[in-house]
């Protein structure tokens, strides 16, 4: 892993985080619409934009291996719709604070699962950086208070909600690591092209869901078209579909190629950091001292992980050269 690749990988990780962070802001600006309406609009726009780009590649779809199409469909189902579906179910049962706390450990689960699969570094190297990130994320999420929706207080509903959130966490952890391995192993797939393929497969799934809603006589499309804030909705889903979905996936793919999976996983913390930054700007507020401290703690953990892994790489290389 060269210094140039590390730097580029970090930049791509920051771009992905900045793009994902918009998902914290735009739904708040579209509060008049349901989460289902926003998510379907987002992924519909992602799919349409991907289909538009696909024609510029001038590639025959029949020449793309069935393995790639199926893997992209799998990622679209698990990493996009499946993840979001279980997350929304979890939020409804346990509230936004608990759900955010569980999903907030995603950088840690990807780093450890990726390292378990790859054995890139000794786990002790990741322990302290992960501890800083985890503590920072926990305090940050707990400071968010109970601003989420009203929740079912029953113990059964609470346990079920936690299970749904853990399912969402597991789905995206698997997707993040599996996607990185595919891109590293198959050099014929460029990061932008694969983002486009996933978008097309996401469009297929959205159309299936839309068809089912029509058959079940759920007038989702009709409600959107007659809504007084339709123009705001269109702008919002364009931002979510192009920036939060296509560009974020493209940047994440590049970060996954250029960085070890363990470090790429850590970069997901920038989603939360940028999400908070956008919220501060939108509400014309400044972070509290505790929030500022938590953000600094999280960023320090990421920087420590990068420093320790690069140091380990250099020492391993010197040891290997000495043996030779």
Residue corresponding to tokens 């601003």 = 147
Helix, strand or coil, per DSSP, at residue 51? helix
In this structure, how many other beta carbons lie within 10 angstroms of the beta carbon of residue 156? 9
Q: Over 50: is that where the pLDDT of 105 sits?
A: yes
Question: 256 near 183, Cβ under 8 Å?
Answer: yes
Q: Over 50: is that where the pLDDT of 148 sits?
A: no
Answer with the residue of higher pLDDT: 92 or 26: 26
Residue 62 is classified by DSSP as: G
Q: Over 80: is that where the pLDDT of 195 sits?
A: yes
Name the pLDDT band for 61 (thresholds 50, 70, 90): low
Structure confidence at residue 129 (pLDDT):
86
pTM of the model: 0.84
Q: Provide the token pair at 217.
A: 């006589």
What percent of the chain has a predicted confidence (pLDDT) above 90? 27
Average pLDDT of every residue of the chain: 83
Q: Over 50: is that where the pLDDT of 149 sits?
A: no
Q: What backbone torsions phi and psi does residue 306 show, to the nearest 5 degrees?
A: -65, -45
Structure confidence at residue 146 (pLDDT):
45
pLDDT tens, residue by residue, 206-235: 999 888 877 777 777 778 878 888 899 999
284: Cβ contacts below 8 Å, ≥ 6 apart: none
Name the pLDDT band for 10 (thresholds 50, 70, 90): very high
User: Whole-angstrom distance between the N-terminal and C-terminal Cα of the chain?
Assistant: 20
Residue corresponding to tokens 């730097």 = 7
Domain range annotation of the chain: 3-323
Cα–Cα dist 12/250, whole Å:
9
Structure confidence at residue 127 (pLDDT):
86
């Amino acid at each position: 892993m060269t210094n140039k690749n590390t730097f580029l990988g970090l930049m791509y990780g920051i771009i992905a985080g900045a793009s994902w962070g918009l998902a914290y802001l735009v739904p708040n600006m579209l509060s008049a619409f349901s989460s289902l309406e926003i998510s379907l609009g987002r992924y519909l726009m992602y799919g349409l934009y991907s289909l538009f780009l696909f024609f510029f590649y001038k590639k025959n779809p029949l020449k793309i291996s069935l393995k790639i199409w199926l893997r992209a469909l799998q990622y679209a189902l698990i990493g996009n719709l499946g993840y979001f579906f279980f997350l929304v179910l979890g939020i409804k049962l346990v509230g936004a604070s608990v759900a955010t706390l569980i999903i907030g450990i995603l950088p840690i689960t990807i780093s450890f699962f990726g390292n378990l699969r790859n054995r890139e570094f000794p786990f002790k190297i990741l322990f302290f950086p992960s501890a800083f990130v985890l503590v920072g994320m926990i305090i940050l999420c707990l400071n968010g208070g109970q601003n989420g929706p009203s929740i079912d207080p029953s113990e059964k509903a609470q346990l079920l909600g936690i299970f749904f959130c853990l399912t969402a966490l597991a789905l995206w952890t698997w997707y993040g690591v599996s996607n990185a391995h595919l891109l590293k192993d198959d050099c014929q797939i460029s990061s932008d092209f694969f983002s486009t393929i996933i978008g097309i497969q996401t469009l297929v799934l959205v159309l299936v869901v839309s068809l089912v809603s029509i058959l079940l006589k759920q007038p989702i499309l009709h409600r959107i078209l007659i809504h007084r804030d339709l123009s705001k909705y269109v702008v919002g889903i364009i931002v979510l579909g192009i920036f939060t979905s296509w560009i974020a996936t493209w940047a994440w793919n590049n970060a996954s190629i250029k960085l070890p999976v363990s470090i790429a996983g850590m970069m997901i913390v920038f989603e939360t950091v940028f999400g908070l930054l956008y919220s501060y700007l939108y509400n014309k507020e400044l972070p509290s001292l505790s929030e500022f401290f938590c953000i600094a703690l999280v960023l320090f953990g990421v920087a420590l992980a990068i420093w320790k892994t690069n140091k380990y790489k250099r020492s391993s290389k010197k040891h290997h050269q000495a043996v030779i």
